[in-house]
Amino acid sequence: MSTTITTDVGAPRTVPYRQTMATVIRFEWIKARSLSSTWFLAGAVIALMIAFAIIAAAVQGADTPDDAVTTIMSGASITVLVIGILGCLTGAREYGSRMIAATMSAVPRRWKALAAKAIVLTGLSVVTAAIAVAGAFFIGAAVLSGNGDPAPALGDPGVLGDLLGMVLYLTVVALIGLGVGLLLRNVAGSIGTVAAGLLLVPGLMAGLLPDSWGPAVLKFMPSEAAAGITTVYGTGSESLGAGAAIIVELAWVIVLVGGAVVAVNRRDV
């Protein structure tokens, strides 16, 4: 890309303009923050996580500090879907409005545009998830304590790991939504695919696959691998260890977002 300028003492000359990654990231951030849906969905993640924590802590209570963490994070299932929708919109929304043509014209190296989307979404998701999880934990723990139930402390064994694992899982789901949205190029289709992948497919696999090897396959699904990084999703003999679970979650992101980069580079916008 270049720009032509005219000086007072000479002919027009071309000055090369280098489009940096920071510039593309700034463009994507401006687009993201200018859309009301971005803030609505981010706010919904925080509000739902905290609301479910308050309701569950007040109604359900807890018998032990370990149970208390699961009680406080009872809104995880619905907030996972909401942040997945945010990812789908980030990936597919511009195809519906045809703004993707303008984006790719402004950023001829398409991988830069997609990388910038992923970076902006990751930052937004981490901050949103951290606020939601921290708010739910501290407010939920206060409600439990006020009711006389065992309340977890941040320094209790495994508690901080559970909370960080939940932040990681929410971020992973957002990026999975981004990859699916870019691949399908349809908002409704990508949202349905992500919702089915998180909620329906694991249940169907558990019922249809043989007991001899079905659980071993099922634990590599994103929602099941989450059990290895946060006990909110429960643990069992077939759950992955924390290190393996993180690798599996990141592998899903790499495959879907990387596949989207390849697809976008090969097909017309």
For the chain, the domains span 21-266
Can you name the residues that pair with 2 across neighbouring β-strands? 16
* pLDDT score, position 11: 52
Q: Determine what percent of the chain is predicted with pLDDT higher than 70.
A: 91
Tell me: pLDDT of 64 over 90. no
Q: How far is the CA of 263 from the CAs of 125, 180, 231, 255, 267, in angstroms?
A: 24, 11, 36, 12, 6
Tell me: pLDDT of 96 over 90. no
Could you tell me if 246 and 229 are in contact, meaning their C-beta atoms sit under 8 angstroms apart? yes
Q: pLDDT digit string (tens) for 39-54?
A: 999 999 999 999 999 9
Task: Please give the average per-residue pLDDT across 123-135, as a whole number.
Answer: 97
> Rounded CA gap, 39 and 241, in Å?
34
* pLDDT score, position 17: 54
Task: Please give the average per-residue pLDDT across 10-17, as a whole number.
Answer: 52
Task: Tell me the pTM.
Answer: 0.88
> Rounded CA gap, 227 and 202, in Å?
13
Which of 7-16, 66-75, 124-133, 208-217: highest mean pLDDT?
A: 124-133
